[in-house]
Amino acid sequence: MNKLPYYKSRKIKKHNLHISEYGGFIFSKKNIPSKNEDFTEGHFFNDKLDIQAIASSIARRNNFNWKGPHTHIISLTRRCVNACSYCSTLCKSSGKDMSLHTAKKIIDFIMDIPQEEVFIEFTGGEPVLNFSVISKIIPYAKEKAKLNGKRIFFSVVTSLSYENSKIIDFFIKNKINICSSLDGPKDIHDANRLLISGKSGFDFTVKNIKKIQAAAKMGKTSSLNLISTVTSSSIGNEKRIVDIYLGLGIERVQLGMLEPLGKAKYKKELDISPKEYLNFYRKAIEYILEINVKRGIFLYEKGMYLILYDILNGFSNPKRSLDIYHRLAYSVDGGIYPSDESRIIGENGDETFLMGNVKKDNFRNILSSQIASFSMAYNLNCFLSPLCARCPYCLWCRAPVWHNYAYGNSLWGNMVSSPKCQMMKGIFDLAFEILADRKKSKIIRSWVENVPL
């Protein structure tokens, strides 16, 4: 009975990492796990399996109790105040806004989905340019949520590169979670994120961040979610980027990859190779860990946190962006897409991912579309992609369909040449390298324990 079930291994520096087919893992001195080492925790030997834990982990990882997506990303306008050189949405100073009629239809569509918690995220372009719809649709959505017995939360993705205290006060007063971009100190931020006028919006952004953080400290709203998009301007500036977040009282850093969408797809001078990104990422993570240890400050990186959450808990963090399972996105015209990135591809002119429209479809209809079936199936890439099936990280890793399409014009994707795959493999390697180090592991485990979902 003491047989060793199927498992996958990978060499991480001097360690042999073994991952059981149920997501348990161990580091071993030997290439092949033996019972003499402590494998009782990792579901390795048939006589040591905790069947109940395994069943619950499979059910949660594969969304057996799924009722519908909880996150809904609504594009309110094709206009923007900025002219970022990597803009994925190709937004300009003029363009279409979503009408209040369409926004209401989206809320009605969402309320029909049998999910008790609803997260609405307003995006664009710059969504505050369509503030009249934001201010009217929030009370409408709250009312509808109350009638349908749902809990509802709002967030807005805004550049903050404008001076309008009324709008910021509205967000704070209504406890709307604010997500924005801060690529780093002024020289790094302005390298790619100038206003349409060609001037810098950095000072407005920082002023607004300080105002929101001060309100968050008083418990009036939640702390900002900021992302730094990593481009060639970021390389060598890991510490300066982390330091500006720290100085603004932000405890969460997010180091985003430049994705092959919109302008970014063609601006080769901004792009960096997976190797350069991973080198940057490693240095930034090392520095963040050092701040935790030497200065006793709680600071974490969102991407690493999400990966660790899944590895250590045995199931997918609901904040991970699984197409359709967790999220849907809506274009200015009410088009329904499996992800925000596929919505961007659609609004940029390629409607391959369009599943329907809120003016004529309901949730059941869109689930029967071919693209919906494929997107949902592809979330289980362990079963679909040949290279993923053999990869030790496939229980937790997702190479999204939109990325396969945007990068390689294929829904299936070719993981052998996919930069996303290379980056994900490198990030997982780094996560396990840290987990193998007793001191560092303690810190990153504390991220998983202390960050509220």
Minimum Å distance from CB 39 to ligand SF4? 23
Range list of β-strands (E), 40-150 = 71-75, 117-123
Residue pair 140/175 in contact by the 8 Å Cβ criterion: no
Structure tokens at 196: 């349409």
61 interacts with ligand SF4 by CB under 6 A: no
Minimum Å distance from CB 262 to ligand SF4? 8
Range list of β-strands (E), 303-406 = 327-330, 335-337, 356-357
* Binding window for ligand SF4 (CB under 6 A); candidates: 111-119, 312-320, 364-372, 380-388: 380-388
306 interacts with ligand SF4 by CB under 6 A: no
Residue pair 192/231 in contact by the 8 Å Cβ criterion: yes
- The CA-CA-CA angle for residues 23, 26, 32, to 5°, reads 105
Between 130 and 292, whose beta carbon lies closer to ligand SF4?
Answer: 130
Report how far residue 433's alpha carbon sits from residue 265's, in angstroms, rounded to the nearest whole number: 32
Between 146 and 390, whose beta carbon lies closer to ligand SF4?
Answer: 390
415 interacts with ligand SF4 by CB under 6 A: yes
Phi, psi of 156 (to 5 degrees): -135, 135
82 interacts with ligand SF4 by CB under 6 A: yes
Between 164 and 450, whose beta carbon lies closer to ligand SF4?
Answer: 164
393 interacts with ligand SF4 by CB under 6 A: yes
In the list 224, 244, 332, 397, the residue contacting ligand SF4 (rule: CB under 6 A) is 397
Report how far residue 406's alpha carbon sits from residue 71's, in angstroms, rounded to the nearest whole number: 23
Q: How many residues bind ligand SF4 (CB under 6 A)?
A: 24
In the list 17, 307, 324, 391, the residue contacting ligand SF4 (rule: CB under 6 A) is 391
17 interacts with ligand SF4 by CB under 6 A: no
* Binding window for ligand SF4 (CB under 6 A); candidates: 76-84, 207-215, 237-245, 304-312: 76-84
Structure tokens at 123: 């995006």
The conformation of residue 46, written as its DSSP 8-state character, comes to: G
Residue pair 341/347 in contact by the 8 Å Cβ criterion: no
* Binding window for ligand SF4 (CB under 6 A); candidates: 53-61, 104-112, 148-156, 421-429: 421-429
In the list 76, 91, 118, 176, the residue contacting ligand SF4 (rule: CB under 6 A) is 91
In the list 209, 388, 444, 448, the residue contacting ligand SF4 (rule: CB under 6 A) is 388
346 interacts with ligand SF4 by CB under 6 A: no
Report how far residue 399's alpha carbon sits from residue 310's, in angstroms, rounded to the nearest whole number: 15
Report how far residue 226's alpha carbon sits from residue 48's, in angstroms, rounded to the nearest whole number: 43
421 interacts with ligand SF4 by CB under 6 A: yes
In the list 24, 33, 124, 338, the residue contacting ligand SF4 (rule: CB under 6 A) is 124
* Binding window for ligand SF4 (CB under 6 A); candidates: 247-255, 267-275, 358-366, 391-399: 391-399
Minimum Å distance from CB 394 to ligand SF4? 4
387 interacts with ligand SF4 by CB under 6 A: yes
Residue pair 310/372 in contact by the 8 Å Cβ criterion: no
322 interacts with ligand SF4 by CB under 6 A: no
311 interacts with ligand SF4 by CB under 6 A: no
Report how far residue 343's alpha carbon sits from residue 353's, in angstroms, rounded to the nearest whole number: 7
Report how far residue 57's alpha carbon sits from residue 41's, in angstroms, rounded to the nearest whole number: 14
Other beta carbons less than 10 A from residue 52's beta carbon: 8
Cα–Cα nearest to 2, from 52, 55, 39, 56: 39
Alpha-carbon dihedral 122, 123, 124, 126, rounded to 10 degrees:
90
270 interacts with ligand SF4 by CB under 6 A: no
Enumerate the β-bridge partners of residue 195.
82
Between 376 and 421, whose beta carbon lies closer to ligand SF4?
Answer: 421
Q: Give me the residues that bind ligand SF4 (CB under 6 A), please.
A: 80, 82-84, 87, 89, 91, 124-126, 159, 381, 385, 387-388, 391, 393-394, 397, 399, 415, 421, 424-425
